[in-house]
Amino acid sequence: MFICVNCSKNSNLFSIWDYGKIEDMKNESSLLIKGAVLKGASSDVRIRDGLFSEIAPSLSPLPDENVIDAHGMAITPAFYNLHGHAAMTLMRGYADDLELFTWLNEHVWPFEAKLKAEDIYNGTRLAILEMIKSGTVHLEDMYWFTYEAARAAKEMGIRARIGLLALSTNGDADKLNRECLDRIDEFRGIVKISIAPHAVYTVNESRLLQCLHASEEYGLDLHIHASETEKEVADCQKEHGMSPVAWLDKLGILKETTILAHCIHVSDEDLEIIAKRKSWAVHVPFSNMKLASGAFPYKRVREFGVKACLGTDGCCSSNDLSMFGAMRGAAYLAKLFHKDPTIAPAEEVYAMATRQGALAAGVDGGVIEVGKAADCLLINTDLPCLVPNHNLISNLVYSASSECVDTVICNGKILMRGRVVPGEEEIIAKARESVKRLA
């Protein structure tokens, strides 16, 4: 969750994008992973043009092909984080354990009022670095200075859908958004733009309809906070005579690709609507617990057949961006909330972070299969937290940490190898520079 009052700084929008080589590749389109453990068996996995092209017990390298020796490691799908505010990394640990409006009025908003475009760029790069180091290959973002966030994502090679944020009165942010829309063709690759009206309590009817029409005109997906707090639902009932979900549905916002972050205070009728529209409900467990917003109704979400995936939210309300944490939080919270240890088993929660997350992100990936998007991790199964390995998925959900991720591959490109992300020292130094000025 976040709310911001600042949106009027000028952005250095059109600096030249530097695609920065990840490593010195012989042939960037072809990669062979040798000897990785896949579903219990040693396998060779070939990646060509961003897809898994061959999987077999043994494959011979092609001329000029890059080869990774993965003996002793497991190959697994990468993670997809479906809700966040990336540059909020700059506020990690800045103001914790406070009542919501004290937190916003006295800490978050004054900090955000000082943010400049380069801070968003620096904070987003820090977020992406943390995400890569914890095995995540997709960022679903909603924050200010969209172009800077998109530039950071593009440079670092991660998948992203960067939300053009809308409030009832956006001020100069509209200009920034317009400039992004005018250059929309730059965002048709793995870094995309979405339309992100903040929530029903910050975006009025005419603005929501503008967002809807822009999404249709430009062919962009929608991303919005929905039914996060009891107050949001009560206020919407008072103003519109219906719940936030019903209101969004009435306006036509609920499409198959729409991302609904939180979905905590939802009635059976709301869940029926979301299931019928096939929109995505994003479970954000740590943010919901830390802000005491409530618990995602895991059991009812499944009973109604709602499509669900996972997210972390921004670092203000969920201080790290690890999907290991999101999986564990989702499983534990559902068990406690429903007083039933059989709810939210590891396999289900893992699927929300991988296959379900990929589909929500618009990617046919999240599984290691021929023809699917080549987003994967090499996992070091020798770390103490993964020994013994009775069940790898149980270990990944209940005991793993980011440290077990050795290699991250996104769209067939290596983003991290041996836990090293190129340029990480500079990314951290620049983020510290921003914080020094802001805090």
Q: Where do contacts with Zn ion occur on this chain (CB under 5 A)?
A: 1, 313
Least distance (Å) between residue 311 CB and Zn ion: 8
Cβ proximity to Zn ion, 357 vs 412, nearer residue: 357
Cβ proximity to Zn ion, 165 vs 351, nearer residue: 165
Least distance (Å) between residue 140 CB and Zn ion: 10
CA dihedral 154, 157, 159, 165 (to 10 degrees): -30
Least distance (Å) between residue 376 CB and Zn ion: 28
Least distance (Å) between residue 324 CB and Zn ion: 20
Least distance (Å) between residue 372 CB and Zn ion: 29
Cβ proximity to Zn ion, 220 vs 259, nearer residue: 259
Cβ proximity to Zn ion, 48 vs 290, nearer residue: 290
Least distance (Å) between residue 83 CB and Zn ion: 6
Least distance (Å) between residue 232 CB and Zn ion: 12
Q: How many CB atoms lie within 10 A of CB 56?
A: 10
Cβ proximity to Zn ion, 214 vs 291, nearer residue: 291
Cβ proximity to Zn ion, 47 vs 224, nearer residue: 224
CA atoms within 13 A on the CB side of 238: 7
Cβ proximity to Zn ion, 76 vs 229, nearer residue: 229
